[in-house]
Amino acid sequence: MLPGETRLPVTALGRYEGSLRRAVLALKRGRRDVARALGAALSEFRAAHELVVPAPTSPERARRRGFDQGLLLAKAFGGERGAIALALEGASQRGASRGERLARRIRLVRGSPAGRRIVLVDDVCSTGGTLLACANALRAAGAVSVRAVVVARAERRPW
């Protein structure tokens, strides 16, 4: 853990391998039907009182894909589009080291999490850096609690 960081509970459908890996890759390649199916599968982990917030995708990555897979998952998970929006600062994390991923900066760009219980939604948790940065930004803005739900986990670490 880096100074100032806190732990983050992360729930996943499973490991980033086999059919889950293929599903995530299909989603990243534009299969919106896969987003709906994965979001529905994740919904078993949603508590009614939580506000769903998608983990941000880099603007460059979303522009290249033509969509933001985090938004698609969050919508299928039951999230309100745009209630709270986070922005990722910097380039894509693809190929970044663990230290670089853990140093990610996230900023709140819309909405207020003050007094709310938040569930972050993302496709894959590799190092946990992006999700942890999201959680720290939401907590700093007054969120009562933050946890994450992802399709797959690439590593076994206590976030």
Looking at the structure, give the CATH architecture of the domain made up of residues 10-153.
3-Layer(aba) Sandwich (3.40)
C-alpha separations of 10 from 25, 85, 118, 157, 158 in Å: 20, 20, 12, 10, 8
C-alpha span between 154 and 150 (Å, rounded): 10
Q: What's this model's pTM, rounded to 2 decimal places?
A: 0.82
- Looking at residue 127, its pLDDT comes to 85
- Looking at residue 65, its pLDDT comes to 81
Q: What is the pLDDT of residues 57-73, one digit of tens each?
A: 887 887 888 878 888 88
Helix (H) or strand (E) holding 4: none
Q: What is the pLDDT of residues 87-129, one digit of tens each?
A: 887 655 555 565 665 566 899 999 999 999 999 999 999 888 8
Q: What is the pLDDT of residues 32-61, one digit of tens each?
A: 899 999 988 998 898 888 899 999 988 788
